[in-house]
Chain A
């Protein structure tokens, strides 16, 4: 008889334990040094206005312990799950089920969205959340044209949002123009601004383009804050008229829509109308993007992202191609901005910070560049996730930042891992996002 194979004993796994322990200890020590002063000590304004400090060693100890424990957990997870990017074989039966589910998601989601105001008619909170999510979906779809399709790194998208919002606000409050007149104007102004901004900078590469667009976004915000005579400065513009139902106001009076339809007035009407309005705008953005992808201009955008040099060699004017992507994205941003202004009734420069640009960019990247469905899901996830932080608003940015870092490490290609071709001879095969380039600006 052959000797029995020895079972792996605890001792043979001991090096693992020692290694994990050592790693956790180092992490804890690093955390101790990092947090010693910032968390261990809290500076406050003292009674005489000078700076005093309090010690918070308890908090410090707790956090260091958490880092220690967390480090152990992460190491264990890493060993169990395998390194990031491990390919897992999915059995064919599961694969086909997944494929069916995947095709079903978009229509199901759309139908659900259409029915939200019906299902949640009385829950103002949900309707407001829905409007917020849809606004970001639209912004995401708009930026998707620039970043996802054309591969241009735009960190200043909020500028177009602001231009749209302030255009509508100022046109409506100063000239009394209705929303439906101002909406296209807002889009045109934003697009015009996009061309103006884009023209000098679009030949810059990747990172440089990103920071220049960031600078532009900040410039817009600073100009808005400081040009008080035009924009009201930090006080913003208030009294922005609410939209009417194609001319019929949504008010309780006799000339209101409720009276005309013979139903009882409720403030929810306006919310429902706003919900369907942003949904319509978002779907318009989506439809235009999908159509444009199948047209030469959209294909040129994607080719630009794949390889700009090859585009030039094929006779494509890369400057105008980039400009059209930029302008189109800007236009949708402008529409969203106008909607934002009319929904709030009041706008101020505080709504148009760099954090907004970063949020929309995160939505686009998380969604998987160029994927419409992915962007929608990402917006839902992020904004929904943000809402969960009601009450913990202090920590929102911290968690958002950490989430961005983790997402980039874990799934840099976003949720949707493939690209759908726009024309095919026999059948449309999804292209894995490993092959799709991300663009160099």
Chain B
């Protein structure tokens, strides 16, 4: 039972990270109808930026941990958001009115570019960092099995909740959010009504990238390493989360992320670690076959 509780905690933390990435997928799919294949790699870039920022800050003598965390958070969000913006400008915007396959192939190409770029820029080896945040709380200690809630885990979950609250408010209450929802429904009409569609779409990518950067930083804090290939698998899992939750739905993405995180953690704990990715991919297939609109999505009727 305690083992299960620990897995539950771990799963929620992992799920929060997936959820942050999934939000980017779901927002982009909602507004431009494309799967941003490069989004997982944006997450990876965010992790790298966080890593390098940490290194620099620590080496120039900064020791106050909360300050470091805040600076790294802002820096990686800002720079990664710029990556997201650039990718959209270069690879997607010119293809917005092209046929379906073009943005997808462009996204795949961009994904290769980002992966390879990291590999060249920082080397192919996995980059480990010593734990920056240590300590935690022992929740239960019975029969020799300790259930711990580490500080890192608390930070990840709280950061996720705060960001989720901010962006939910953003989408529901601000002008930008309204513009985004308008573009989701009917781009042409939104443009005719004075919405700057280009800018709105760019902002969607920027927000998605910023959240992915946070996820990257959280991943770094939690697992203590980044590597140039982590975007690929994480990306597919996060997309699975977005689909599971219902594509186009922000709370759905988070819900899906939590579920995927839990399923992956519990599967590794109780069945087999080697096949955990297979489990995640299989879920994607099962969800798309049996529940294509996801848990919180709206069913679409095909207009003939």
Q: A and B: direct contact (Cβ < 8 Å)?
A: yes
Q: Given that A38-B52, A153-B101, A398-B112 are contacting pairs, would A409 and B106 also be in contact in the complex, using a CB cutoff of 8 Å?
A: yes
Which B residues touch A211, using CB under 8 A? 35, 236, 239, 284
Which A residues touch B86, using CB under 8 A? 30, 34
Q: Given that A44-B123, A210-B35, A218-B236 are contacting pairs, would A400 and B109 also be in contact in the complex, using a CB cutoff of 8 Å?
A: yes
- Asked whether A204 lies within 8 Å of B288 as measured between CB atoms, the reply is yes
Which A residues touch B172, using CB under 8 A? none
CA distance A37 to B109 in the complex (A): 23
Give the secondary structure class of B's interface.
helix
Which B residues touch A43, using CB under 8 A? 51-52, 55, 122-123, 127
Shortest CB-to-CB span from B204 to chain A, Å, is 17
For B48, give the chain A residue with the smallest CB separation.
Answer: A38
- Asked whether B105 lies within 8 Å of A361 as measured between CB atoms, the reply is yes
CA distance A309 to B302 in the complex (A): 10
CA distance A52 to B129 in the complex (A): 10
Q: Given that A34-B79, A208-B292, A412-B95 are contacting pairs, would A438 and B101 also be in contact in the complex, using a CB cutoff of 8 Å?
A: yes
- Asked whether A401 lies within 8 Å of B111 as measured between CB atoms, the reply is yes
For A354, give the chain B residue with the smallest CB separation.
Answer: B232
- Asked whether B104 lies within 8 Å of A403 as measured between CB atoms, the reply is no
- Asked whether A404 lies within 8 Å of B56 as measured between CB atoms, the reply is no
B 226-285 contacts with A by CB, 8 A: 232, 236, 239, 243, 274-275, 277-278, 281-282, 284-285
CA distance A405 to B45 in the complex (A): 19
Stretch in B2-10, B113-121, B134-142, B155-163 with 4+ CB within 8 Å of A: B113-121
Shortest CB-to-CB span from B5 to chain A, Å, is 29
- Asked whether B99 lies within 8 Å of A438 as measured between CB atoms, the reply is yes
- Asked whether A404 lies within 8 Å of B108 as measured between CB atoms, the reply is yes
For B103, give the chain A residue with the smallest CB separation.
Answer: A408
Which B residues touch A33, using CB under 8 A? 79, 82
CA distance A41 to B48 in the complex (A): 11
Which B residues touch A439, using CB under 8 A? 100
B304 part of interface (Cβ distance < 8 Å): yes
Which A residues touch B45, using CB under 8 A? 38
CA distance A33 to B115 in the complex (A): 18
Q: Given that A211-B239, A394-B119 are contacting pairs, would A218 and B277 also be in contact in the complex, using a CB cutoff of 8 Å?
A: yes
A207 part of interface (Cβ distance < 8 Å): yes
Q: How extensive is the interface on chain A, given as a class? A: 35 or more
- Asked whether A218 lies within 8 Å of B281 as measured between CB atoms, the reply is yes
CA distance A212 to B90 in the complex (A): 26
Shortest CB-to-CB span from A62 to chain B, Å, is 13
- Asked whether B49 lies within 8 Å of A362 as measured between CB atoms, the reply is no
B150 part of interface (Cβ distance < 8 Å): no
- Asked whether A37 lies within 8 Å of B53 as measured between CB atoms, the reply is yes
CA distance A405 to B116 in the complex (A): 15
CA distance A58 to B100 in the complex (A): 41
For A358, give the chain B residue with the smallest CB separation.
Answer: B108
B43 part of interface (Cβ distance < 8 Å): no
Shortest CB-to-CB span from B77 to chain A, Å, is 13
Q: Given that A41-B56, A408-B98 are contacting pairs, would A401 and B109 also be in contact in the complex, using a CB cutoff of 8 Å?
A: yes
B63 part of interface (Cβ distance < 8 Å): no
CA distance A270 to B302 in the complex (A): 56
Q: Given that A38-B122, A50-B130, A358-B112 are contacting pairs, would A219 and B288 also be in contact in the complex, using a CB cutoff of 8 Å?
A: no
Which A residues touch B289, using CB under 8 A? 200-201, 204
- Asked whether B98 lies within 8 Å of A38 as measured between CB atoms, the reply is no
Q: Which of A34, A398, A440 contacts B100 (CB 8 A)?
A: A440
Shortest CB-to-CB span from B219 to chain A, Å, is 16
- Asked whether B99 lies within 8 Å of A405 as measured between CB atoms, the reply is no
Q: Which of B52, B83, B109, B239 contacts A402 (CB 8 A)?
A: B109
For B247, give the chain A residue with the smallest CB separation.
Answer: A208
CA distance A214 to B107 in the complex (A): 14
- Asked whether A398 lies within 8 Å of B122 as measured between CB atoms, the reply is no
Q: Which of B109, B127, B274 contacts A51 (CB 8 A)?
A: B127
Shortest CB-to-CB span from A375 to chain B, Å, is 15
Q: Which of A50, A206, A207, A405 contacts B90 (CB 8 A)?
A: A405
Shortest CB-to-CB span from A377 to chain B, Å, is 18
B190 part of interface (Cβ distance < 8 Å): no
Which B residues touch A405, using CB under 8 A? 90-91, 106, 109-110, 113
Shortest CB-to-CB span from A42 to chain B, Å, is 7
Shortest CB-to-CB span from B85 to chain A, Å, is 8
Q: Given that A41-B52, A218-B281 are contacting pairs, would A201 and B94 also be in contact in the complex, using a CB cutoff of 8 Å?
A: no
CA distance A398 to B236 in the complex (A): 21
Q: Mark A180-192, 1 if CB is under 8 A from B, else 0.
A: 0000000000000
CA distance A439 to B101 in the complex (A): 9
Contacts A/B (CB < 8 Å), 24 sampled? A30-B86, A34-B82, A34-B83, A36-B79, A38-B49, A41-B52, A41-B55, A43-B51, A43-B127, A53-B55, A201-B288, A207-B35, A207-B100, A208-B243, A212-B285, A218-B281, A226-B275, A396-B116, A398-B117, A403-B109, A405-B113, A408-B95, A412-B98, A439-B100
9 nearest interchain CB pairs? Answer: A404-B109, A401-B112, A401-B113, A398-B116, A397-B116, A215-B281, A401-B109, A412-B102, A405-B109
Given contacts A37-B48, A215-B282, 16 further A-B contacts (CB under 8 A): A34-B82, A41-B56, A51-B129, A153-B100, A204-B289, A208-B243, A216-B285, A218-B277, A226-B275, A358-B112, A361-B108, A401-B108, A401-B112, A405-B109, A408-B98, A409-B94
